[in-house]
Amino acid sequence: MMTMNGDAPEEFEYDRAKEVKEFDESKIGCKGLADSGATTIPRFFIHPPQSLQLAQSFSFHLIPTIDLSHADSHRRSEIVHQIREASHTWGLFQITHHGIPLCVFDDTISAVRSFYELPTGVKSQHYCREMGCGVSFTTSTDLYRSNAAAWRDTLQVCVGPDPPKVDLIPEVCRREVMEWDGHMRRMGKVLMGLLSEGLGLERRGLEEMTCVDASNLLVQYYPYCPQPDLTLGIKSHTDPVMLTIVLQNQVGGLQVKHGEEWVEVKPMHGGLVVNIGDLLQMISNDQYKSAQHRVLANPFRETRISIPVFFNPSKRGDTDFYGPLQELLSDEKPALYRNFTMGDVMGRIFSREAGNLKNYFEL
């Protein structure tokens, strides 16, 4: 059942539902529309003017870039300090000198690009709208849940806590996706270590709470959009997870909100974008802030590709509670959020009225 715009005439609603379904069933994705040479976008992609406002970013701010070299030796306390500051004021930063060879970045991007360049008939064998079914290829993930669709296609691979179903990963990018997953597991632990110390916890504090055990890897594909001023690649959101690490190619479009301004997260070859998610904001009792971000529809002929890896806690039981950490609370700093299970979080994310996760758990 799709979200209906309350005051739209019924005839319009019916047409929209039909058009959306036809597009979904065609399985061609936004890439298929772009490749068809279309000069206009179907109207179900058109966003209301208020979500497009200030789509262009005029800000001269630069997001923090943190050099991770010698993170295990003499520079550790300086790096912990930089990460703490960036996580508090921006919720997003780039990291360099993280130890992943540059050629791995290029190989990973070109392998996942090859998947999208497969003939529609081959690619569509992986087409599946339900997220969380191991491996799925789809378009505009919130097509039926949101008022306006987003101009991007997505390949999702659940890589944890259970081992990924390797055979289900498209063969053209299987080896590279698995290799990237290995690098991200290591990076997730390194970052959680630094973030733990930034909160005054032991290095393995967040890791022992299983915060990096469950991960989900997406390959976001933003093809050329013929009317980029009318739609978005991803609408403004915060990630409803612990932490996200993003590899992006050289075609820009990612923006982060800083105060009232949208600031471009300029692609940096060999850099990785890290964002704090809502769960980490809640367990840190607002010492870290989740970043509000979005991706513009791609106006360039060259496709924008990004690979976000989302980290989440793996304990999923009804009595496995997460919430503001006791160590961070005092009379002056009372808990700002109630405790929650991952079941509560998932229920909220997939509910019809899913709004801001943090507001929902706020005390």
Ligand X SMILES: O=C(O)CCC(=O)C(=O)O
Contacting residues toward Fe ion, per CB under 5 A? 239
With b for 16 or more beta-carbon neighbours within 10 A and e for fewer, the 115-135 pattern comes to bbebeeeebbebbbeeeeebb
First to last CA, the chain: 32
Residues facing residue 155 across a β-bridge = 137, 219
> Which range binds ligand X by CB under 6 A, 86-94, 182-190, 246-254, 280-288?
246-254
- Rounded Cα–Cα distance for residues 306 and 120 (Å): 20
Residues 112, 194, 295, 296: which binds ligand X (CB under 6 A)? Answer: 295
Neighbour-count burial for 322-360, b at 16+ CB within 10 Å, e otherwise: bbbbeebeeeeeeebbeebbbebbeebeeeeeeeebbeb
Question: 79: which 2 tokens?
Answer: 């790096």
Considering CB distances under 5 to 8 angstroms, the limit depending on partner class, which of ligand X, Fe ion, none binds residue 306? ligand X
Residue 252 burial (C-beta neighbours within 10 Å; 0-12, 13-18, 19+):
middle
Q: Which does 246 bind (CB under 5 to 8 A by kind): Fe ion, ligand X, none?
A: ligand X
Closest C-alpha to 256, from 217, 220, 296, 303 = 296
Least separation in angstroms between residue 295's CB and ligand X is 5
Nearer to ligand X, 34 or 295 (CB): 295
Binding mask 333-352 for ligand X (x = CB under 6 A): --------------------
C-beta of 153 vs 239, nearer to ligand X: 239
Near ligand X in 303-332, by CB under 6 A: 306, 308
Site string for ligand X, 214-233 (x = CB under 6 A): ----x-x-------------
Q: Least distance from C-beta 141 to ligand X, angstroms?
A: 9
Could you tell me if 292 and 234 are in contact, meaning their C-beta atoms sit under 8 angstroms apart?
A: no
Least distance in angstroms from the C-beta of 156 to ligand X: 10
- Which of 98, 123, 183, 293 touches ligand X by CB under 6 A? 293
CB of residue 185 to ligand X, shortest distance in Å: 19
Helices 174-198 and 102-116 meet at what angle, rounded to 10? Answer: 130
- Total residues at the site for ligand X (CB under 6 A)? 11
239 binds ligand X (CB under 6 A): yes
User: Two tokens at 68?
Assistant: 């991770």
Q: Give the shortest CB-152-to-ligand X separation in angstroms.
A: 8
Judged by CB, which is closer to Fe ion: 141, or 210? 141
CB 147 within 8 A of CB 254: no
**Residue 141 interacts with which of ligand X, Fe ion, none, CB < 5 to 8 Å by class:** none
Here the tokens at position 299 are 């106006």
Q: Which is nearer to ligand X, 196 or 248 (CB)?
A: 248
Q: Which of 150, 254, 280, 296 binds ligand X (CB under 6 A)?
A: 254
CA dihedral sign of residues 267, 91, 357, 212: positive
Considering the complex, what minimum distance in angstroms separates the CB of residue 244 from Fe ion? 6
CB of residue 193 vs Fe ion: minimum separation in angstroms? 23
Q: At what angle do helices 174-198 and 76-89 cross, to 10 degrees?
A: 90
In angstroms, give the least distance from the CB of 169 to ligand X: 18
Residue 30 contacts ligand X per CB under 6 A: no
136 or 248: whose CB is closer to ligand X? 248
Interacting residues with ligand X between 189 and 218 (CB under 6 A): 218
CB 90 within 8 Å of CB 291? yes
Half-sphere exposure of 330 (CA within 13 A, CB side): 3
Question: Least distance from C-beta 253 to Fe ion, angstroms?
Answer: 12
Position with the least CB separation from ligand X: 306
- Give the count of beta carbons closer than 10 Å to the beta carbon of residue 259: 9
Query: Using CB under 6 A as the criterion, which residues of the chain lie in contact with ligand X when the complex forms?
Result: 218, 220, 234, 239, 246, 248, 254, 293, 295, 306, 308
